[in-house]
Each structure stands twice: as structure tokens, then as C-alpha cells.
Amino acid sequence: LFLLVMPLGQAVSAWTQLQTGLGALARIQEVLVLEPERDDVPEAGGAVTTAPRVPAAGVPLLELDGVSFTYPDGTRVLDGVSLTVPAGSRVALVGPSGAGKSTVLALVEGFYPLTGGTIRWAGTDVRELPRAALRAQLGYVEQEAPVLAGTVRENLLLAAPGAADDELWAVLADVGLTGVVQRSPRGLDVPVGDEGVLLSGGERQRLAIARSLLARPALLLLDEPTASLDARNEGLLRETLSAAAADRALLVVAHRLSTVLDSDQIVVLDGGRVVARGTHDELVETSPLYRELASAQLLV
């Protein structure tokens, strides 16, 4: 249906890009196909067929309880990780490269079975929930967010086929892409990629966030790109996160602490373990590793 737009000039193999894009497309399609399951339809016998309703703000939405994980090749990556994302709150995962941050998101998304511990969604062990029902409540934006060939409108409608134009413009405003799209006389029908708007890495990820937000997830999982963002895109990502947090919970893997300074909680991972947690101000006082990360980024 859609061809992938290969990012220009990136020293990443085309094959990896293709795998990432196809995986994301499969997941997007899965969410679309399974959207109707959001309605609560109790099955005979009382089996859970949908994810539980999102609790009130402040009540635990996502809980990792003693989660351990070893990749199938034997690499042990997480060791007894516990963290809670209350409904409506913003939680950030930070830590050195290889600490296991992206793996946490992959496990929440259900890409691998846990090797220890439990993940709960609104109080229910996710193993008791149909994976698709849970995924319908999750938005997942990877580091190398795939943008699909076609128009801006087509990219957005993948997540919400019936969305009206004003909804599309509203979400583009939330992610700071209104200007880019308005500059084209074709508006929402401007093609993305070589023939239309050339989306930078930061813009591509914000378009992917916009697509994710249109599906109205209760929790947005976002893996911030490691590649350096320019100051303008970094500022826009910060604004995007604030807009995204207005009516949902966020779990953000952050490489730039500046994008998550105002999180309700920052969890510091090192070597697969949680070594500290708190607000930015608390961590600057209590965590030598966090202080080191923050001072390397000139934040303290």
C-alpha cells in the first residue's frame, strides 16, 4: 500500500529501516483492525476481553513489579525493575547508553515475554489481557519513527481513518508541524518525502507522535531519538510532550534530560537496575549518576 521513505544521508542500512518500518506498519494496522475491541464486551464465562478502563488521574495505570529480562541470545538486560506510571502523569526513564531503557518500552509493548516479575495495566496482570486490547490503549513511538510514503493526511489517517481535517490540524499544532504543512499549497495533501515536505529526523518523529495521538492512547510510550536534535527541534519536542501529556500518561525514554526536566517522576536506570527515582530537583540532590548525566548536559 505504502512505500517507505528512506531517510536521506543516514548511515543506517536500508534493510534495518525497512524492518523498522514494516514492523511499525504491522503494528499500526493491528491497532486499526482491533480498534472496535475497545468497547467493553464481556465474554460468556467472564473472561477479560478488553483492557480495564483507565483509572482516575493519580491511580496506577502501568506498573512494573520486579521485572527482569534476558534477551533470547542470553543477554541479561533488566534486573528487578519496578516503576509505576499513574494515570495522567509523566514519567521519564534516563540512564547511560545500554542501561535497558528501550527494553522497558519493548516489554510494555509486549514484544518479548518477561523472564521475571509482572507488568500490570490498571491493576490487572497483562498476561491476563488480550495483547491487542492493551496495545489499543498504548501509543508507541520508536526512536527511528517510521514515516510512510504518501501524504501528511495519509500518514495521519492510518491511525484514525475517520478523523476530520480540523482534528488533523489540531494534532499537527500540538506537535509543532502546522508551519511545515501550511507552507505547501497542497496543505494536508502534501506528499511526505523527496517529492514534498522533507521531514527532518525531529519532524519525522513528531509526525509519528501526531499519528499516535490521533488514536487517543491512554499511555504514550516514546523513545526519544539518540541522534542530535537541533535546539529548535528539541524545544518543539518539549512542547509536543507537554501537549501530549494534557490528557494522557507518558513514559518517555530520554537521552536529553532537558526534554523531561518537568516530569512528575524521573527513573534512573543503570546496568538494568533502578538506581534512583524522583523529580529533577530531588535527583540532583540524591543521585550521583543523575548529577553526572545532568552536568554533562550543562543542566546543573
Is 266 a residue that touches ligand ATP (CB under 6 A)? no
Site size for ligand ATP (CB under 6 A): 14
When the beta carbons of 46 and 74 are compared against ligand ATP, the nearer one is 74
Q: What nine digits make up the cell of 133?
A: 486490547
Contact 248, 80 (CB under 8 A): no
Instruction: Provide the pairing of β-strand 191-192 with 124-125.
Output: unpaired
Residues between 220 and 259 that touch ligand ATP (CB under 6 A): 226, 255
Based on the residue annotation, tell me whether 43 is a catalytic residue of this protein: no
Least separation in angstroms between residue 167's CB and ligand ATP is: 33
Is 111 a residue that touches ligand ATP (CB under 6 A)? no
How far from the centroid of its chain's Cα atoms is residue 207's Cα? Answer: 12
User: How many CB atoms are closer than 10 A to CB 19?
Assistant: 11
Is 114 a residue that touches ligand ATP (CB under 6 A)? no
Instruction: Provide the pairing of β-strand 265-270 with 249-253.
Output: unpaired
**Which residue in 63, 142, 144, 224 is the catalytic one?**
224
Is 19 a residue that touches ligand ATP (CB under 6 A)? no
Least separation in angstroms between residue 112's CB and ligand ATP is: 8
Binding-site string for ligand ATP from residue 61 to residue 90, where x marks contact by CB under 6 A and - marks none: ----------x-x-x-x-------------
- The CA-atom distances, in angstroms, between 33 and each of 30, 36, 38, 160 are 5, 8, 11, 11
DSSP annotation of 263: -
d(CA 27, CA 255): 25
Positions annotated as catalytic residues are 224
Footprint on this chain of ligand ATP (rule: CB under 6 A): 71, 73, 75, 77, 95, 97-103, 226, 255
